[in-house]
Amino acid sequence: MERILEGKTGIVFGVANKRSLAWACAQSLAGAGMRLALTYMGERMGKTVKELAGELPGALALPCDVTRPETIDEVFATLREEFGGLDTVVHAIAFAKREELEGDFYHTSKEGYMLAHEVSAYSLTAIARRALPLMEGRQGTMVTLTYIGGLRVVPNYNIMGIAKAALEASVRYLAHDLGPRGIRVNAISAGPVRTLASSGVSGFTRILDHIAEHAPLRRNITAEEVGDACLFLAGPHSRGITGSTRYVDAGYNIMG
């Protein structure tokens, strides 16, 4: 691996454990020489994520709950002290109440609708606004994670699909706002991968089997493939790309 991100700094939001797509992104970025901060939610994840950060040279592990904006402020205050500036933000956070991810979408409660959007969509903008002062004049990049359920109907994905549609639109508006400052913003639309979030989904194995049978590559993707796409979108090889959603899904999205 060429160390194309040597001397750069980044933050990866949403590490829960070693299966997290956030962790795969962190490993790819750190492998290219980037110094990282990882964020986790709640002290229960703290121990695991501190151990994971220990595997990456110079990495920090910081608590952050995006429903508590003061915790986002604290993250960026720490980054200013420890890193000075920031080149890359990776956003890999999503949450909806479990009862909203089954049955008919029209049963979605107002509270469940708002929570899914706060955590899974608005948080990207809340983070971007705070990251901006640290990213000024550095050709920075932001990468978020989305899913095909934001574009097409995936049964049971429900309110998360609406939130991902808002997230993908946020990527375009942020790309428009930040482009003049040299900052690029893109999303990776990943195929299904077994993680803490997806293991809580009933019927997830059936979804994996369906992809393995029907995707052009006739297999599922790996977290490492998402990490490497993140490396591409965060690094100089994608310097002409902003505002886009790139599929890392073994080609499944082209199927009719």
Residues engaged in binding ligand 0WE (CB under 6 A): 94-96, 98, 101, 147, 154, 156-157, 160, 192, 197-198, 200-201, 207
Name the active-site residue from 40, 106, 113, 157.
157
What single-letter DSSP state applies at residue 62?
E
Tokens of 115: 């929570």
Tell me, yes or no, if 106 is annotated catalytic: no
Residue in 21, 254, 20, 251 with CA at minimum distance from that of residue 152: 254
CB of 7 to ligand NAD, least distance (A): 27
Residue 207 partner contact from ligand 0WE, ligand NAD, none using kind-dependent CB cut-offs of 5 to 8 Å = ligand 0WE
Question: Which of 30, 145, 162, 178 is the binder for ligand NAD (CB under 6 A)?
Answer: 145
Stretch that binds ligand NAD, among 14-22, 105-113, 126-134, 233-241 (CB under 6 A): 14-22
| 67 contacts ligand NAD (rule: CB under 6 A) | yes
Cβ-based nearer residue to ligand 0WE, 76 or 157: 157
Residue in 37, 67, 65 with CA at minimum distance from that of residue 49: 37
Stretch that binds ligand NAD, among 80-88, 103-111, 130-138, 140-148 (CB under 6 A): 140-148
Question: Could you tell me which residues come within 8 angstroms of residue 173 by beta carbon, excluding any fewer than 6 positions away?
Answer: none
125 in Cβ contact with 119 (< 8 Å): no
- Contact map string, positions 24 to 43, toward ligand NAD, x by CB under 6 A: -----------------x--
The residue with its CB nearest to ligand 0WE is 200
114 in Cβ contact with 162 (< 8 Å): no
Amino acid symbol at 41: M
Cβ-based nearer residue to ligand 0WE, 54 or 203: 203
CA Rg, the chain, in Å?
17
94 in Cβ contact with 22 (< 8 Å): no
What are the distances in angstroms from CA 152 to CA 160, 164, 189, 254? 12, 11, 12, 12
Residues annotated catalytic, as ranges: 147, 157
